[in-house]
Amino acid sequence: MKIKKVEAAKIEIDMTPMIDICFQLLTFFVFILSFEGADQDARIQLPASELAKPPEKSEDVPITLQVTKDGQILAGGQPFPNADAAKSVLNAERTMLEQRGRSVSDANIIIRAHKDAKTGDVQQLIKVAQSVEFTKFSLRAKDKE
């Protein structure tokens, strides 16, 4: 008795719909991703203010600096012991602006200071930023509920 070998049928899966769905999900998440929270640190608890209101329009070139309650400066994701030490980051920001053909006056320094931070630390940070020729500043606070 002779046995014939039967070839197994090849099963091919059409991957086009799977690739299409993955691309659509990727596109969806890219569009809803917000980098606004990347400049915020959980250690900074903003002071409450009745006068606090959101900015009317988003800043053209925002540069976020944060002051912790012990006077440490957070700039560009790096901690600095004081405002003078953070001057290197401000100089780097200024250089990047100039390389892009932008003026230092286009930038807006956003200062997020902890509610228990010393006023002198914030003032020193503003002085250092002014020495690098930045002129626009915004202080952040949260609305009183």
- The per-residue pLDDT for range 46-90, each reduced to its tens digit, is 666 666 666 666 667 788 888 888 888 888 778 899 888 888 888
Q: Which amino acid is at 47?
A: P
Distance CA 139, CA 73 (A): 14
Q: Residues near 105 by Cβ (< 8 Å), separated by ≥ 6?
A: 135, 136
Pick 64 or 141 by higher pLDDT: 64
Average pLDDT over residues 1-20: 80
| Radius of gyration for the alpha carbons in the chain, expressed in angstroms and rounded | 26
Q: Do 83 and 125 form a contact (C-beta atoms < 8 A)?
A: yes
Domain ranges of the chain: 37-143
Amino acid code (one letter) for 113: A
pLDDT digits (tens, 9 = 90+) for 93-130: 899 988 988 888 888 888 888 888 888 888 999 999 99
Q: What integer best gives the mean pLDDT of the chain?
A: 81
Residues 11 and 4: their CA atoms lie apart, in Å, by: 21
